[in-house]
Amino acid sequence: MIGAPRGPFVEDAPAKINLSLRVAGRRSDGYHELQSLVVFASCGDRLLAEAADDLTLAVQGPFAAALAGDADNLVLRAARLLRAQTGVTAGARLVLEKNLPVASGIGGGSADAAAAMRALMRLWAIDPGRDALAGMAASLGADVPVCLEARPAMMWGTGEKIVRLAALPRFHLVLVNPGMALSTAEVFRALAAPSLEGLPAAPAVPAFAALDELVAWLGTEANDLEKPACGLQPEIATALQALASTAGCRLARMSGSGATCFGIYAEETAATAAAAAIARAHTGWWTAACGVSDCD
């Protein structure tokens, strides 16, 4: 480690948005076979890593309290795994700025873990290789591999099969969370997906020349977890209606297993106005207007 950069190094951990999420069924190993079109928002958490003797994590920001006392935080698990797998003996002081609500269906913990791995590779001047890094990420959680790169992707399987897409047409998002955490396991139990006898074929990878094409494609897809999630937390349906009723909303849908919902807008001004209107009407909700990474 002699001569390794000292930092500090900062990595963004953008919100992961499932524009679509299909559940083909439950596999024989108990996992669910999924297919999802994923994008990354311009809003998110932020992770700082700097040289230290020990490996520590401090959490700050609007949603820091939700992670208080979590000694097994996914960021620390990612850091320990990376250090163990690469033989690093150095420590690091990690500081997580938690701007995204916890357990909200937008991959905050997974994005944080991925950001920690990227920051620590820079701090410790290591490169475990693409395949080894992907394997470590997959062992941490189904969403961590896709979060290693904040680019649009089609992901399937349990999340380990990923094809990055060409830049999507430009659009803007409004993210709304009605102030509740939702257990992914509970949502899948409520879905009661059928058992799979064989694995589905790899999905076709779509390409979109214009936003109209993307919205039309999404109209033929869905988030299969949305209905069971609304059954568990009816306020999700209220959030979806709030988004759909704003001017310029092209599509309103839940992300992941909830409870965060999103609206798609062609214009930034429409997204900003929609977010402001929803925030005024629902003061207890978390609301954010943001762009999307890697869009033309």
pLDDT for 40 beyond 70: yes
C-alpha dist (Å) from residue 91 to 2, 120, 268: 14, 10, 42
78 phi, psi to nearest 5 deg: -65, -45
| Polymer length in residues for the chain | 296
pLDDT band for 201, please (50, 70, 90 cuts): confident
55: closest CA among 14, 23, 89, 85?
89
pLDDT tens digit sequence for 273-296: 999 999 999 999 999 999 998 877
pLDDT band for 5, please (50, 70, 90 cuts): low
**% the chain with pLDDT above 90:** 87
Output the average pLDDT for the chain.
94
Residue ranges of domains in the chain, CATH in brackets: 9-164 (3.30.230.10), 172-290 (3.30.70.890)
Q: Which residues are catalytic?
A: 16, 143
Return the SS3 of 270: helix
pLDDT band for 7, please (50, 70, 90 cuts): confident
pTM of the entire predicted model? 0.95
Q: Checking DSSP bridges between strand 261-265 and strand 172-177, what pairing results, if any?
A: antiparallel
Return the SS3 of 9: strand
> Burial level of 81, CB count in 10 A (0-12/13-18/19+)?
middle
Contact 85, 117 (CB under 8 A): no
